[in-house]
Each structure stands twice: as C-alpha cells, then as structure tokens.
C-alpha cells in the first residue's frame, strides 16, 4: 500500500507546471489524436539523433564522472530538462542533485532531476521514475572506473549510454506535451557515476530520494538501446539491502523492493572507443523509444501499480 504520505505536490506546484509548460514550449509536441493514450505522443527521430550525436561528441570527452566532459553532459541534460518543461524538485532548489562520488577515488558528481506532477487527486502521490545514466568512461584513464584497456582515447559511448539519455529526453518532451493528462507524477533521473559503481543511483536511493521511495511504484531504466534491446525485469531481493555492486541502475531500485526494469541491449563495441554514433541503429533505437514511452505512459495512467507494470508489455 502507498498509505498516508504523499509527496508535496500542491496547487502551487501545478501553477508552476502550467507556467513552465507555457514558457518552455516543447519543440515537437506532436499529438496525432486526442484519445488513444501514449501511442499518440510522438518522439522526434531527428531530435533523438541530434541528442545522441551531441552527447557522444568529442566536446563531451566521453562524459567520465567528475571530468570537464562529464560536467558538460550534466549541463546539457539540465538545459534539456528545462526546455522540455520539467519542474526542478523544490527540495533540490534546482535540477542538480550534487553528491560526492566515492568509488576507488573521490570526485564531485551530480544527478540531474526533473519531474512532471501528476494531476489525479489520489494517484499524483505515486511516482514513476524514468532513469538513464549520462556518464561514460571518458578517456578511460585514472582511478574510480574501469581503466587502462584502450589508453587515453576518448570513449564516446554513443550506445552506452547517449542512446538511453536521449531516449529519456524524448520521453520528457513527449509526456510534457500531455502533462495535463498524467495521473501519476513522473520523475526523470539522469544518473551520474553509473560506470563506476552506480554511485548516482545509490545516492538517490540511499541518501536523497526526491520523493519517498514507498510512493515510487515503477522505475524504467534505459541503458544501451543503440543496437537491439529487450526489457529486463529486475528481481526483487528476498532481503532488502545495499548489495555490494551493481550491473545497472535499475538493480539499485529493485534491491529496495521497488518494481524496476531496464531496457537494455547488445553493444558490439562495449566500453570501446568504437562505441560511436556511426554504429548506432537509429531506426531500431526509435522503436525502443516508442516502447519506453508506452511503458511509462501505462505506468503513469494505470488504475493500480500492479496494472502499471503489466500493461503495455508484449
Ligand atoms: Zn551503461
Ligand atoms: Zn558502460
């Protein structure tokens, strides 16, 4: 049950939401018809390709946590969250959730967090999270992440995980264009430090959940959808605990007993400097974006959280 406590989503929040939507006009708020649910909200393939290309560009230097390129990626995601009309959580005082990355070495890091408030009087107290990690390996040198395999070449990480970050942004733009219909609150979490111990997801879950975890009914994590991808549902543990390590951010939530799944795929150039935009299968990735949108839309709209995770899945 998701009893007494609800996130503080008040009338003033909703006013801010409306203003934010008016100011930050989604650039491609496409709706083909009004009455057929999530499938009528169209992600934008051109914008998707552009986003992946920017995140994987040399200017971002592989987006390693704590590096100048990593901070460029954070700034980029923050800008896009604002453009999409997402609200910054009040408790963070902005979109950034800074934390100290501490995994075989310390550095400053930050998640980027924004949300769309639900509008149903009851269900808006429940939260659906879309997450994707923006960090990658950078030049693959230094402490704190896997290193040494490919010298100091930039690892652009187009598939891992510019593909997922760009997908999350497409969901943000698309859902923002239908924000007045969303029943549950949808929170977008651009995660730092995934490549090095999932520190960003752990920070959110263990140190600073923006909305109470007991109100979080579903997490859809997106990580590497640039070749072909499937939905992997994470098992809940018999005993809820930290877990020593992690494979993907979705697991971090699942270990706390939250329903979580990751859209994840193959990567023929996994953790290699060859993980480039040229190796992305964009038409395939867009199919996954559509599926992600359907999953999240259904999770946000379903009458109960049980239904939320079963509807919309093939
Ligand atoms: Zn990844
Ligand atoms: Zn990786």
pLDDT, tens digit, 9 for 90 and up, residues 204-240:
999 999 999 999 999 999 999 999 999 999 987 665 5
For the chain, the structural domain boundaries read: 11-308
Ligand 1 centre to CA of 286 (Å) is 18
Ligand 2 centre to CA of 137 (Å) is 7
Once rounded to an integer, what is the mean pLDDT over residues 93-98?
A: 98
The whole-angstrom separation of Cα 296 and Cα 311 is 10
Q: Counting ligands in written order, which one lies closest to the CA of residue 272?
A: 2
pLDDT at 159 over 50: yes
The CATH number of domain 11-308, selected from 3.40.109.10, 3.40.50.2030, 3.30.565.10, 3.40.630.10:
3.40.630.10
| pLDDT, position 306 | 53
The whole-angstrom separation of Cα 244 and Cα 295 is 29
The whole-angstrom separation of Cα 112 and Cα 127 is 17
- Which pairing describes strands 127-133 and 185-191: parallel, antiparallel, or unpaired? parallel
pLDDT at 251 over 80: yes
Contacts of 66 (CB under 8 A, 6+ apart): 101, 107, 108, 109, 144
Which residues sit with Cβ closer than 5 angstroms to ligand 1, an ion?
160-161, 223
The whole-angstrom separation of Cα 118 and Cα 84 is 16
pLDDT at 247 over 80: no
pLDDT at 277 over 90: yes
Once rounded to an integer, what is the mean pLDDT over residues 276-303?
A: 97
Per residue in 8-63, pLDDT (tens digit) is 344 444 444 444 444 433 333 343 334 444 446 789 999 999 999 999 999 999 99
pTM for the model: 0.84
């Amino acid at each position: 049950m998701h009893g007494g406590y609800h996130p503080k989503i008040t009338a003033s929040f909703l006013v801010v939401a409306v203003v934010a939507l008016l100011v930050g006009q989604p650039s491609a708020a496409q709706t083909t018809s009004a009455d057929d649910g999530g499938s009528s909200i169209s992600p934008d393939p051109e914008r998707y390709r552009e986003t992946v290309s920017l995140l994987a560009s040399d200017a971002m230097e592989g987006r390693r946590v704590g590096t100048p390129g990593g901070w460029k990626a954070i700034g980029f995601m923050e800008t896009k969250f604002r453009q999409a009309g997402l609200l910054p959580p009040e408790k963070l005082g902005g979109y950034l959730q800074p934390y100290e990355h501490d995994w075989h070495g310390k550095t400053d890091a930050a998640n980027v967090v924004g949300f769309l408030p639900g509008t149903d009087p009851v269900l808006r107290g429940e939260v659906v999270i879309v997450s994707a990690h923006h960090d990658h390996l950078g030049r693959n040198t230094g402490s704190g992440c896997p290193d040494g395999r490919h010298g100091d070449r930039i690892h652009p990480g187009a598939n891992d995980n510019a593909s997922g970050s760009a997908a999350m942004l497409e969901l943000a733009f698309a859902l923002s264009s239908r924000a007045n219909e969303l029943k549950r609150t949808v929170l977008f979490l651009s995660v730092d430090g995934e490549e090095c111990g999932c520190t960003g997801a752990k920070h959110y879950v263990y140190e600073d959940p923006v909305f109470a975890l007991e109100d979080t009914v579903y997490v859809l994590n997106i990580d590497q959808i640039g070749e072909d991808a499937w939905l992997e549902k994470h098992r809940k543990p018999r005993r809820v605990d930290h877990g020593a390590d992690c494979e993907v951010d979705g697991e971090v939530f699942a270990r706390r007993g939250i329903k979580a799944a990751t859209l994840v795929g193959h990567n023929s150039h996994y953790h290699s400097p060859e993980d480039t935009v040229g190796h992305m299968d964009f038409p395939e990735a867009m199919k996954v974006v559509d599926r992600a949108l359907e999953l999240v839309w259904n999770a946000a709209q379903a009458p109960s959280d049980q239904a939320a995770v079963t509807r919309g899945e093939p």
